[in-house]
Structures are given as C-alpha cells and as structure tokens.
Chains A and B, each alone.
Chain A
Amino acid sequence: MSEFGEGSFVSEWERVKTNTRDMEKIWSTPRTFAGDVWFRFRKKPTALAGFLLVLFLLAFALLGPLFTPYSYSDQSLTLANIPPILSVTEASNGNYLYITPAMKVIQIGRDGKLLGQLRKIKDDDTLRRISFTLDDATVVYLDYTVKPAAMLDSNGMRSPADKQVWNTSFLLGTDQLGRDILTRLMYGMQISLLVAFVAATINMVIGILYGGIAGFLGGRTDAIMMRIVDIISTIPLTLYVILIKVTLDNGLFSIILALSSVYWVDMARVVRGQVLSLKQQEFVLASKSIGSSNRTIMLSHLIPNAMGPILVTVTMLIPSAIFVEAFMSFIGIGIAPPMASLGTMCNDAMEALRSNPYQLFLPALAICLIMFAFNFVGDGLRDALDPKLKK
C-alpha cells in the first residue's frame, strides 16, 4: 500500500479524450452468415477433407478425360484383362513377357508399355506347351504343366516371372473387353455424379415446393398433404425405384426420373417443419402488413431462411442417390452399355472377381470415395449451420 500512494495514480494515468463517433464503431470486421458457416466448417478436419475430396473427384471426372488417350468405348480384345501391376519374365531381346489368364503372351517394353501379343505358332498337347515367335525370330514356349504357367526360353529353360512392372499403357489396367479402366472410371464417375446432382436438384425443388406449400397453408391442406407423404414413406423406396426403372428404358434419363420421383419426401418434411416455425415470426407479419403476396413471402422470406437445413438434406441426398444408382446398376438395370456408371463397372467385374479383383475394387473404391466425401461434407455442414454449436 505504501509503495503506491494514492497520488501516484493521478500522475501516471491520463484521461483519454472521448470520441462519440468511435464509440459506435464496430472494430472487428463483420462476418456474413455464409462466412460464419465457412469459418466453422473449415475448423472440422473431416469436413474440410471431404470438401477437398469432392473438388478432387469433380476434377477427376470432368477434366480427367482431357488427359487420357482412350475413350470409354475403345476396346481391344487382345489386351483384355491386363492388370495394372504385371508379373513379367525377361525375354532374350531385353523386353518383358506377360502371360495373360487366357494363356496369351504379351510383350512389354522396358518402360512398361504394352507392345502387343506374341504370334502363336502351335499348341502342343502332349508336351503341354504353346510355342510363340518373338519378333518373328526366336521361339519361346509357354509351359502349362505347372501352375501358374511359366515361360520357357528358346532352349527350353524355365525363366521365372520374377519382375514386377507397372503397366504404363493402361495405368489401372483393362477390363474384360480390353477397355482402359482409368478412362472408364472418369466417365463412370461423371455419370454417377451427374445422376446424383440432377436427382438431388429435382428432389430439392419438388420437396421445397411441396413442403413449403403444406407448411405455409397449414390446416387441412397441410394434414392431407402430409398424410400423403406418410403413405409414400412407408413404401420401401428402393422397390419403387426398381419398378419405375423397369417400366422405362435403360437410359440415363430414366434413372434420374426414377430417383427423383420418390426421394423428395424427406426434403418435403424438412421444409414443412422449417416453414411452420418461420411463418409465425415477426418478419413474416411485417412483410404481410406491407401487402406482400403469398408468393413473395414464400420465395423471398421463408425459403431463404430455411436454406440451412435444406442444404444439409441435399448434401445427404447426393450420396444416397449415388448409392441407389450403383445398387440398381449392380443388379443389372442400370445404364445401357457401352456407357457405364461405377455400379455397372462393379457388376461387370463381379463374375471374374477371383482372377481380376482389381476390376471390381477400383470402381468400388471410387464409389466409397464419393460416399465418404459427401457424407463428411454433409456432416460438417450440419454442424456448421447449427447455431447451438456456435462458439
């Protein structure tokens, strides 16, 4: 107490000049609602990872085809079922030889480029070996007395398949018709994403209109409209997507139509709930009192305010649309060949799972990545839009 005499404060501290203008000034930069949501969204690592993954997948699907030399329908049956990583035997000319599951021999350059099939000379049943010519000069043999079959050089000496080469002609291998899997993945993802986005948008529009009208009008109209929604939601939707798909042809359009005719129910419920609570609020009354039409109140006051939950529902709708599309393609009522979605690619590869597992696991991985990405984004959005979690 004695060290700081009362007088010392007066001398060390100085009165600040008051400025009435500064008192009202907001010093921190104001953040918009969207900015606020983005701020909370990117705090969550899974959400940000999901968002980046979505961007990456979109780039892969849309820009990828520009960089690939193949089209989704280019087939070369001689180069069918070639995996991305090849176990090869070194040949006398310095190149590598790869034995396909169908007992063909393919010559592969040192850089991993496929140079084509060796010409077959003779299949000797008694010795159980097939002879081929290499560069029309030397003869090599394929010995199928052992399993897996092995190459013999021109002197009949066994040369082991001890080298692993990355297939640089087809980075992710080829399918059962010799089409490049990487290219087909790009186009397949395009189709899966297109179906999902269009179906989600249509569902959103129908759901907003239906739920909005039901919630806004209320009363008996609402009761009847929601009873219809209740009935629709007790019907197993997958069955109806299948049924609608069966009545239409095998095109892209019919998948979208089938998906968008049944999945709007959740959206309608969400929008109705939002509109019911929003329409009681003062700003709606204010708008009514200045003579706004119902249409204006609905479109420029109610729906924009309900956008948060709507957005979350849409992001969750996208993975389920992709899932149902893949499901339908997988049971064989998907898009017509030669186009393929990821689900059709899985379905085509299922028969040869044992010998060519990569043909199934690559598109399956792509489906999983899409599902992960959108689920994470949806989860993140839901948390970011929830004012209760605001810190």
Chain B
Amino acid sequence: MTKYILKRLGMMLMTLFLIILLTFILMHSVPGGPFTRDKQVAPAVLAALEAKYNLNDPLPVQFFSYFSGLLRFDLGPSFKYTGKSVNDFIVNGFPFSGRLGLITLVFVLLTSIPMGIVASLKNGRWQDMLLMALATLGVTIPSFVIAAGLMYVFAFQLKWLPIFGVDDWKGYILPMVALGGYSISFLARLMRSSLLEVMGQDYIRTARAKGISEMRVITRHALRNAIIPVVTVLGPTVANLLTGSFVIEKIFAIPGMGSYFVNSVTQRDYTTIMGMTVFYAAFLITMVFIVDLFYVMIDPRIKYE
C-alpha cells in the first residue's frame, strides 16, 4: 500500500511539474504578453514584473525563479491590476468557490445515487423511463443553458430566488442545480447500469435464496459493489464541477475563483491566468489522487501492485 501511494505521489508530482512547465512556456509564447519587452504597461506593474520574473535572465533561469516561488506558494503579481497578486484572487475567491463546489458535490451524491437505484429497481417501468429521460436531458443540455433557464423561471418569472449574489443560502440553490445537472445525470446513469449488472450476479441469487429480505439484499450485498464505478468517477466529477463553475459563477455573479479566472482570461491578465491554471491543476490532481486512494481502500478486489 505504501509503495502504491508513493508511486502515485511520484506520478502526481511529475504531472504537476509538467503542467507548470507547459503553462510557463505557453504564456511566454503569447505575442504581446507580459514577457515581451515591447508593450505598453503601467510602470508600476512593469517594475513588479521585472522584480518578480527577472525578465533579463535567460528562460531557464526565469523558469527556475518562478518555480521556486511556486514552492513557497507565491503565484506572482497580477499583470493588469497594480498591487494585486494572484494569491489575493485565490484567497478572496476560494471561500465562495469551495462552498459552492462542496454543496454541489453533496447535492449531486444525494440525488444521483438514489435516482440510479430507483431507476434500476424499477427497470423498464415508468419511474425508470422518467428518471432516464431526465438524465438524458441533463447530459445533453450545457450547464449555462440550464443556468439561464432556471434563472429566467425561478428568479425573473416566479421571483422565488435571488437573481444573483450569495448573500444568503437561497443564492446557492440555482447555481448548485445548474452546476450539478450534468454530474447528477451522468452518475445516475452509471449507478443504474452498475446496479442492474450487479443484481444479475449469482451471489445476489444466493443471498435471496438464503431468505434475506429484498431490502437487505440491496443495501448489504448489491449496493456495496454497485457503488464502486460511481466512486471511480468521483475524481473527474470534482474536476467537472470545478471547471463548470467558471460559467456558473459568471452567470450568477458569484465572486469566486471561477469569476476571477474568466475575468483574467477575457482581460488577458496573463500572469493571473498562469497562476490560476497552475492552482486549479494542482487542486484537481490532488483531489483525483485522494479519490483514487479512497477507491483502492474501499474495493478489496483491487491489488495495488
């Protein structure tokens, strides 16, 4: 187990290094970007950039200094906003994004798994048809369309929920549903097909033959195995929620990291784009790593070579 963890950890760090390198190279190749000398930038920003990135040094040296900054969790100054650093954006935005992401994740798990279970137990009946029709809608309709539709109906027409902002809990409802829509549908479909497959296995028949109640067969025997595929895609699901929140935060004007990121992209705030990308990538890779460890732990059949 320890060997497996160490191996995965090594892979993870290597991936992270490659991401940082790639991002750095991409941002350096931007014509008119922060790292070319012929451009019009505020002198204060230029001075900060100069101090931060040692623009006169050769590229490998610049990369090394950027990288050692990253090791100290210093993501560098903003290219567009004087006196702001990328760290400021993350510190300001993360609480909102983190809260939205966490609420959505819980919401996704609490809806998709029961949906999948009901659909598979009522296989072929109207409950199954209805839930799977909903799930098909969920995977085909882009999140920003869901968000706009929800906003129009519940905020503009019915006026039940606020249009934007997250001053109280009500503000989180629409973003949560819009952000989670795809993942709920995807996981519900996965849960349904996985449980259907498990219910056809011999050991379920054995359990029934022993006279155990159907409820117990499902909860103690079937679900334990059926839930494993759902756990395996939790990593990508977290990634999905995080990148999906770019659009959702923009639509509902939530001052989270996604808003800052989208803003920096449209403003061409290159150093912020670079810093945010590295942060997002690191965060996601860590999440996927944790989910994978969790998955290895709950499934005794998996051998960690």
Q: Report chain A residues within 8 Å CB of B29.
A: 247
| A323-B142, A354-B156 known; A231+B14 contact, CB < 8 A | yes
Closest Cβ of chain A to B222, distance in Å, is 23
Q: Are A236 and B144 in contact (CB under 8 A)?
A: no
> Range of interface residues on chain B?
35 or more
Bound CA–CA A154/B15 (angstroms): 75
Asked if B26 lies at the interface with its beta carbon under 8 angstroms from chain A, I say yes
| A235-B15, A331-B250, A375-B140 known; A350+B148 contact, CB < 8 A | yes
Asked if B55 lies at the interface with its beta carbon under 8 angstroms from chain A, I say no
Known: A236-B243, A346-B148, A364-B145. 7 other contacts (CB 8 A): A234-B15, A243-B26, A354-B152, A360-B148, A367-B142, A368-B142, A375-B139
Closest Cβ of chain A to B13, distance in Å, is 11
Bound CA–CA A361/B152 (angstroms): 10
Pick the contact of B243 from A239, A354, A372 — CB < 8 Å?
A239
Bound CA–CA A238/B239 (angstroms): 10
Can you list 6 A-B contacts (CB < 8 A)? A235-B281, A243-B23, A247-B27, A247-B30, A331-B247, A350-B251
Bound CA–CA A367/B141 (angstroms): 8
With a 10 A CB-CB cut-off, give which of B142, B247, B268 has the most chain A CB atoms.
B142
Q: Are B156 and A368 in contact (CB under 8 A)?
A: no
Residues of A within 8 A of B (CB): 230-231, 234-236, 238-240, 242-244, 246-247, 319, 323, 326-327, 330-333, 346, 350, 353-354, 357, 360-361, 364, 367-368, 371-372, 375
Bound CA–CA A242/B247 (angstroms): 13
Specify the chain B residue showing the minimal Cβ separation from A349. Answer: B148
Bound CA–CA A371/B281 (angstroms): 28
| A246-B268, A333-B265 known; A236+B280 contact, CB < 8 A | yes
Q: Are B152 and A239 in contact (CB under 8 A)?
A: no
Closest Cβ of chain B to A101, distance in Å, is 14
Pick the contact of B148 from A234, A240, A243, A364 — CB < 8 Å?
A364
Q: Are B265 and A367 in contact (CB under 8 A)?
A: no
> Which residues of chain B from 163 to 206 have a CB within 8 Å of any chain A CB?
none
Q: Report chain B residues within 8 Å CB of A230.
A: 11
| A235-B281, A246-B30, A333-B266 known; A327+B140 contact, CB < 8 A | no
Q: Are A236 and B242 in contact (CB under 8 A)?
A: yes
Asked if B262 lies at the interface with its beta carbon under 8 angstroms from chain A, I say yes
Bound CA–CA A246/B28 (angstroms): 12
Q: Are B277 and A239 in contact (CB under 8 A)?
A: yes
Can you list, as one digit per residue, whether each of B248-264 has a CB less than 8 Å from chain A (1) or not (0)? 00110000000000100
Q: Are A353 and B156 in contact (CB under 8 A)?
A: yes
Bound CA–CA A247/B239 (angstroms): 23
Bound CA–CA A346/B142 (angstroms): 11
With a 10 A CB-CB cut-off, give which of A246, A357, A375 has the most chain B CB atoms.
A246
Pick the contact of B145 from A243, A319, A331, A367 — CB < 8 Å?
A367
Q: Are B242 and A371 in contact (CB under 8 A)?
A: no
Can you list, as one digit per residue, whether each of B271-300 has a CB less than 8 Å from chain A (1) or not (0)? 001000100110011001000000000000
